[in-house]
Structure 1
Amino acid sequence: MQLHNLQPAQGSVQSGKRVGRGEGGGGSTSGKGNKGQQARTGYQSKKGHEGGQMPIQRRMPKRGFKNNNRVEYVVFNLGQLDGIIAKYSFEEFSPENLYISGLVNKTAMIKVLGHGEISKTNLKFAVNAISEKAKAAIEAAGGTVEII
């Protein structure tokens, strides 16, 4: 066997179909079936397109009311705070410190709720919202609360 004698196995190489060259090229539709949008050049299927039929997202009934001005809070309970503060050794419980530690994203609104107990004392809280029960518990433990 020599390099100039090498050739692919018989039947493994086939020439491509000559499309778009009339009847002699193996058919007039170039392998695209018959007429229509999908037979044209530049066709791209759009997401949700159903061939002209009314799309399902427009056929389905819309229910209820969606408030565009809703404020989403990331909620922390008092029972969670001891573990978080001990793990990340916070001097101040604030959105900036929570963002730096990777617990929330940069634009998150923080709310503290009063479920559970807090044992740490003299902590400073700077949050966007807090419940009355949580505020009373923090101040009873000697901490301060600031609403941002």
Structure 2
Amino acid sequence: MPLQRRIPKRGFKNPFRKQFAVVNVGDLQIFESGSEIGVQQFLETGLVRRFFEGVKLLADGDVSSPFTVHVHKASASAIQKIEAAGGRVELIPPPEKKD
């Protein structure tokens, strides 16, 4: 029997895991200062190609302009960075699933 069949598989793959499209704080610099940014703007600019369970904002990068960002989830450090620049993060409900 080949070696790859003798060695057991590792870990657990959760079939119900929720996947989010990720946008980093540093990516927001392409938008104008003071603008409202939502999921539609992410799709139009190509920052998000498609989202599974929604869009999540993460804190990689720096932001110097104030923005109002509408996302489904955001990390605590991303919210701190946006608010430190004078903006705000508004959490929106997750999109409804299509059957």
Give the shorter-chain TM-score range: 0.5 to 0.7
Secondary structure at 1:137's aligned position in 2? helix
Matched, 1:96 2:43: no
Report percent identity of matched pairs.
Answer: 40
Amino acid at match of 1:67: N
RMSD: 2.5
Q: By how many angstroms is 1:62 displaced? A: 4.8
* Cα distance change of structure 1 residues 120 and 101 upon mapping to structure 2, 3 Å threshold: same
Q: How far has the Cα of 1:97 moved from its partner?
A: 1.1
Aligned-residue offset at 1:147? 0.9
| Residues 88-108 of structure 1: CA deviation (Å, up to 9, x unaligned) | x89322111111233323444
- 1:72 and 1:85 map into 2 onto residues whose CA distance is 25
Where do 1:15-34 residues align within 5 Å? none
Higher Rg: 1
Bigger strand share: 2
Query: Residues 16-63 of structure 1: CA distance to partner in whole angstroms, max 9, x if unpaired?
Result: xxxxxxxxxxxxxxxxxxxxxxxxxxxxxxxxxxxxxxxxxxxx5654
Q: Which of 75, 84, 89 is 2:22 aligned to? A: 75
Q: Count the aligned residue pairs.
A: 86
Match of 2:62 in 1: 117
Q: How does 1:1-148 map to 2 (within 5 A)?
A: 60=5, 62-82=9-29, 84-86=30-32, 91-108=35-52, 109-121=54-66, 123-148=67-92
Distance 1:107-1:117 versus aligned 2 partners, 3 A rule: closer
Amino acid at match of 2:90: E
TM-score, normalised to structure 1, is 0.48
